[in-house]
Amino acid sequence: MAEDLWKRVEAAFWYVGTREKAIGEADRIFRKTYRDFPENYISEPTCTITFERLTRESIESLELRHTLNRPQFGTGTIVIVEHEGHRHVVDGTKRINRWKSQGITETDEGVVIARK
């Protein structure tokens, strides 16, 4: 049986308490970019989720919401939402900014959420 990748989203947003709320938090952050999208645009029934090994090259193309680079945690799955060819980081931006500023080239794990 394939790994339940939604558990990685739940772990990324551990502070909200439940899987449903974690997916809702990813949705809320994503909709800061696309304000006209309806609430619950991101959900298990409407989206696919895939695992990806991130590289230095792949993080260069990610769209980040800010330039802060002091992450609370040094590791964890990066949560990305893909829409119309753009990839938006909804969790892990500070880690990515730190990697960029320090020239770190090691890879990390990401999950990519996209509408079906």
List, for residues 69-79, the tens digit of each pLDDT value: 998 887 889 99
Q: What is the pTM of this model?
A: 0.92
In a domain, 72, yes or no: yes
In a domain, 106, yes or no: yes
Q: Structural domain of residue 34, as residue ranges?
A: 6-115
pLDDT at residue 104, rounded to an integer = 80
Assess whether pLDDT exceeds 50 at residue 17.
Answer: yes
**Sheet of strand 86-91: strand arrangement:** 47-54, 108-115, 78-83, 86-91
What mean pLDDT is predicted for residues 27-35? 94
Among positive and negative, which fits the CA dihedral 37, 27, 75, 98? positive
Count of structural domains, the chain? 1
pLDDT at residue 1, rounded to an integer = 44
In a domain, 1, yes or no: no
Shortest CA distance to 24 belongs to which of 4, 9, 7? 9
In a domain, 62, yes or no: yes
Shortest CA distance to 9 belongs to which of 105, 89, 70? 89
Spacing of C-alpha 32 from chain mean position: 14
